[in-house]
Structure 1
Amino acid sequence: MPENKTSSGSVKFAKDIFAGTCGGIAVTLIGHPFDTVKVRLQTQPSAKPIYSGAIDCVRKTIQWEGPKGLYKGVASPLAGQMFFRASLFSAFGQAKSWYSVDSNGRPCIPTNLDLYKAGAITGFIAAFTEAPIDFYKSQLQVQVIRSQSDPSYKPKYTTVPQTVRATIEHNGFRGPFQGLATTIVRNTPANSIYLGSFEVLKKRAAESYGCTQQELANDHPFTVLSAAGVGGLLYWMMIFPVDVVKSAIMTDSIVPAERKYTGMISTAQKLYAEGGIGRFYKGFSPCLMRAVPANACMLYTVDKVNALLK
């Protein structure tokens, strides 16, 4: 019997990896242009901004770099999707399993609060794989800002491998974890709301339709898409100011002696000094435009692939 449980657990883990990777690729291809605009608006100089808004950022990006500029740094999230989504969805599946057994070891249905707790656990664990991916992506996304702000500036790296070599050269294998603490602070509550709300909305929808949650993706796809979109929207509305702090830290110099931002609190204070509360909402509009379609597509893809695998 233990061997069967082990085999079943391994199969489930493999399914979580595959479904999560499919969802991750989908969200990257759809959402990356919005993310590029978000990061560039978040990190451009406040004194002499390069972009007047989201539309201007898109226009100048295409003008200076061509359409491919909107996918700057995409190799990092695409290459890392298997690892990141494996940690995200396997952690979420395991966390839900913990809450699916009562204190006597009997199967039970997780409460709504349990689902939010599972999302928080997932966010904490996934931060350790998401932080390096975000770091490399962000470093490449802001190279054009530095070159436009200072004509004498020559980009130090233009590809992910070059960025990896540079960070290891200056900071060893701790390099890609520049901004890890802020990622944890962002991800833990945000994924609680994101994944918890998605699961709660699906549970209520299944009860309303009189079907299982596994049947929703096949029989009621728009419901799953809507639940995922709401979850994504709540994620960003709740945590966006922390994301601005994270972007500032991750796009700072990889050379410790040249860094402007050295910690979460001091970074938040410096950003506030630049523009008050409004400084923490730069890039908010493209982020919201991305939140619903990209997250709806990702979580629906995960649910659909899981349903097909079963």
Structure 2
Amino acid sequence: MAEDIRNKKRNFRHEIEDLAFGSIAGMVGKVVEYPFDLVKVRLQTQPLDRPYYKGPWHCLKATIQHEGFFSLYKGMSLPMAGAMVENATLFVGYRQIQRVIRLATDNLDESQPLPMGQLVLAGAGAGSLASLVLTPVELVKCKLQIQNTNDSLLQRYQGPKHVIQHVLHQHGPLGFYRGFLPTLIRETGGAVFWFGLYEYTCHLFLQRRHSQSKKDLSPLELMLAGAMGGIGYNVSLFPIDSVKSHMQTEEELRPGAPKRSFAQVARSIYQEGGVRGFYRGCGITAFRSAPTNAVIFLTYELLTQHFGS
């Protein structure tokens, strides 16, 4: 009985730590990532027959030139909060699902890492949980990011609060889950690559050091592992992310047109641009994912090592 109480207390401390450390890591990562994410969304949603931008750097330059530097952080307040919640959910879910797997397999020695297949399963479960939090945040973010993409597009929203009011008034609470299916697919599959490649890269570094503890890894090694996870997450399911961005912004970019399903949007993108149509903005996304996720994992691991129980 006493041992059970100690385990419950230790598990609760771990949950609180993951919430705090994941939130801080998400906040730091979002500051690095957000301008590149804005460029990605604008490239994904611009018309193929009359594109506004020649590429990511043209989009970045034009945005700063016409809207000012701080426009790169347009609508960031809610995504910042969302990034904190998302990463907290991912890290808490990842650890707790690992705990469930250990209980189910009688592998209770937490000093021994789980097999890679079980870590990947834990990552997928954590990603699925994160999609519930992330879909409304992504919807608000995308609607704000496409504002002022060209002179003929009317700026309809003054900020996140205005978007939230509009969605509630026009579509009700369920309106915030427009694009949930592609977000669920992206987060579930993406988290497999995010955690999987991170853990695998750490495993390779630990093998070289003849160690089993990430405490023995240098900050550079942790950053390289995080960068690998980030690139894998963002590139692996980028076409799904493109469909999501279209679904969440078609109310603004196709005013008056009926809503389209996931399959209809995917078919439309393919008909207009072929396979390449799904990968608009992929280059800038891969470019920013490396430093962003290097910072996220480094921040989380260092906080865990120095302040964790």
**What interval of TM-score do these two structures reach, taking the shorter chain for normalisation?**
over 0.9
1:88 corresponds to: 90
Aligned-residue CA RMSD in angstroms? 2.0
TM-score normalized by the length of structure 1: 0.92
Deviates more, 1:104-113 or 1:157-166: 104-113
The AA in structure 2 aligned to 1:57 is C
1:189–1:289 CA distance, 2 compared to 1 (3 A): same
How far has the Cα of 1:193 moved from its partner? 1.3
1:19 corresponds to: 21
How far has the Cα of 1:273 moved from its partner? 1.2
2:278 corresponds to: 280
**How far apart, CA to CA, are the structure 2 residues paired with 1:35 and 1:97?**
33
Structure 1: 5+ residue stretches without partners: none
2:232 corresponds to: 234
**How far apart, CA to CA, are the structure 2 residues paired with 1:42 and 1:213?**
41
Contact 1:119 / 1:191 at 8 angstroms: preserved in 2?
yes
1:30 corresponds to: 32
Contact 2:243 / 2:265 at 8 angstroms: preserved in 1?
yes
Q: Tell me the SS of whatever aligns to 2:148.
A: helix
**How far apart, CA to CA, are the structure 1 residues paired with 2:246 and 2:254?**
14
The number of residue pairs the alignment matches comes to 304
Q: Tell me the SS of whatever aligns to 1:51.
A: coil
1:135–1:259 CA distance, 2 compared to 1 (3 A): farther
Structure 2: 5+ residue stretches without partners: none
1:215 corresponds to: 215
Q: What percent of counterpart residues are identical?
A: 27
How far has the Cα of 1:123 moved from its partner? 1.0
| Equivalent of residue 133 in structure 1, options 113, 130, 137 | 137
**How far apart, CA to CA, are the structure 2 residues paired with 1:185 and 1:38?**
19
1:299 corresponds to: 297
The AA in structure 1 aligned to 2:284 is P
- State the Cα deviation string for residues 265-292 of structure 1 (Å, max 9, x = none): 1100001111111111111111111111
Q: Tell me the SS of whatever aligns to 1:110.
A: coil
Contact 2:148 / 2:154 at 8 angstroms: preserved in 1?
no
The AA in structure 2 aligned to 1:250 is Q
TM-score normalized by the length of structure 2: 0.92
**How far apart, CA to CA, are the structure 2 residues paired with 1:281 and 1:256?**
21
How far has the Cα of 1:212 moved from its partner? 4.1
- State the Cα deviation string for residues 2-22 of structure 1 (Å, max 9, x = none): 332222222111100111011
**How far apart, CA to CA, are the structure 1 residues paired with 2:106 and 2:163?**
51
Alignment of 1:1-310 (within 5 A): 1=2, 2-101=4-103, 103-104=105-106, 106-107=108-109, 109-145=113-149, 148=150, 150=152, 153-216=153-216, 219-253=217-251, 258-259=256-257, 261-310=259-308
